[in-house]
Amino acid sequence: MLSFYSTRNHDLDAGFEEALLSGLAPDGGLYLPRRLPELHRSLWRERRQLADIGYEIMLGWNEPKLSPADVRAISSSALNFPVPLVPIGSNRPSQTNLFVLELFHGPTHSFKDVGARTMARLVSHFSEASHTELTVLVATSGDTGSAVADGFSGLTGVRVVLLYPKGQVSALQERQLIVSRPGVVALAVEGTFDDCQRMVKMAFSEPSFEKANLTSANSINIGRLLPQSFYYVHAVSQLDMEDVIIVVPSGNLGNLTAGMLAQRAGLPVNRFVAAHNANAFFPDYLASGEDQFRESIRTLSNAMDVGAPSNFERLASLFSHSQLNSLIRSTSVSDAETAAAIKRTYLNHGYVACPHTAVGLEAAERYRAESETQKPIVVLATAHPAKFPETVRSAIGIQPEAPKDLAELHDRPTRAETVSPHVAALTPYIFA
């Protein structure tokens, strides 16, 4: 059985269902697993599908309310898309030592599908088992909202109310948020992303909403974090080599934290590289020990525009500053360098990367030069390049080819309601 403590109180003890459904610990801290079951070598020694790796790991959690059949159903329906490890620079894996792990073949084409889809099925399972109807309330400015909306859509026992700042997300992002999905209501808030987040926060402490069984699904939820460790195992298994270096394009540091939890549980990772855009809180922290949060800066890799990474609290609770420095390298990449990395990767290798992945590719190159290592480097490819057509086109002169479902998004019916930026405006949708 999994047991969780809070980053602010190590004596706190919560079970998996409680941590999953409450999101934040009662003291405002973040949940961390007290002890994760050891990841066994056989998980990466034999080549397996992501769903099979997820199944084995979740089975090891030994949760009494999750039978092996439940775990099988959850993993096979959540992790139903390929996560290929693609060699860069050669068609023959043995002739290169740079790879991207393409995490963007899920329904909304970012890596967030992995965590969101698995979490959604876990939440639905527990709410069905206890005969309650839950409402997931989520504020989003980008990939999270569509991954969460899509992940929960059509599942029993849960509905989703999604808030996004009207007119402040890209046209494609908005389409992805508002395509009509069963069980999902999209609300275009006449305000900023901060207004959306404030409304969600207030809704949780609003007495008249108590009966609505509200729950959150943001990136601090342990139910999204733990499944993100599955693809780190999958990367090592496909590479068939241990001692790998993994580059993680980072914003809120959830992806990185998931990898480090996998490493702590026994996955043989040589080193992590946290690749940031101009929002350089984390690389600066590693260099100086100074942990002052900042305002975020807008960049080309907008899903990583985070000045105050929420999962930093987890990393700082798990590791000292000097431990973090021995496990992780981190670097900050400017927009000009990001665009140059997209162009270089395309010209040299014919590979089209999204701006987030390009931040990772630039960081990989820097790490290779600085460390002179010959070890394999895997860059996590976090989004499909076709989600960022303008940035990619201005870097390489051509439009990235869109997967069929993204291209067809324009033909699908949409549904969104416009609301004022006040918590009371949520009432009709929360009790719909």
Ligand X SMILES: *Cc1c(COP(=O)(O)O)cnc(C)c1O
Active site residue ranges: 112
At 27, give phi and psi (nearest 5°). Answer: -85, 10
- From candidates 108, 299, 382, 391, binder to ligand X by CB under 6 A: 382
**Contact between 303 and ligand X per CB under 6 A:** yes
* Closer residue to ligand X in complex, CB, 270/310: 310
**Tokens 């004022």 appear where?**
420
DSSP code for 432: -
Residue 249 as a binder of ligand X (CB under 6 A): the answer is yes
Between 264 and 384, name the residue whose CB sits nearer to ligand X.
Answer: 384
What ranges in 289-416 are assigned the alpha helix state H?
A: 312-318, 321-327, 335-349, 355-371, 389-396, 404-407
Options 23-31, 59-67, 251-259, 279-287: segment touching ligand X (CB under 6 A): 251-259
State the binding string over 106-135 for ligand X (x if CB under 6 A, else -). Answer: ----x-x-----------------------
Count of residues that interact with ligand X, criterion CB under 6 A: 16
Binding segment for ligand X (CB under 6 A), chosen from 36-44, 77-85, 243-251, 315-323, is 243-251
Count of helices and strands (H, E) across the chain: 19, 14
Tell me which DSSP letter residue 400 carries: P
Q: Where are the alpha helices (H) located in 130-218, listed in sequence order? A: 143-152, 171-178, 193-204
Closest CA to 426 of 139, 171, 192, 180: 139
Residues 6+ apart with CB under 8 A from 42: none
**SS3 state at 80:** coil
Nearer to ligand X, 169 or 212 (CB): 169
Binding of ligand X by 342 (CB under 6 A): no
Interface with ligand X, residue 173, by CB under 6 A: no
Q: Tell me: does residue 254 bind ligand X (CB under 6 A).
A: yes
Q: Between 66 and 114, whose beta carbon lies closer to ligand X?
A: 114
329 lies in the binding site for ligand X (CB under 6 A):
no
Cα–Cα distance measured from residue 391 to residue 301, given in angstroms and rounded to the nearest whole number: 9
How many Å apart are CA 387 and CA 293, to the nearest integer?
29
Residue (109 or 125) nearer to ligand X, CB: 109
Residue selected from 75, 127, 229, 252 as contacting ligand X according to rule CB under 6 A = 252
Residue reference for tokens 């600066």: 284
Q: Does 384 bind ligand X (CB under 6 A)?
A: no
**Other Cβ atoms closer than 10 A to 208:** 12
Q: Using an 8 Å Cβ cutoff, are 150 and 113 in contact?
A: yes
Residues 179-238 interacting with ligand X (rule: CB under 6 A)? 219
| Residue 250 is a binding residue for ligand X (CB under 6 A) | yes
Q: Name the site residues for ligand X (rule: CB under 6 A).
A: 110, 112, 143, 219, 249-255, 303-304, 356, 382-383
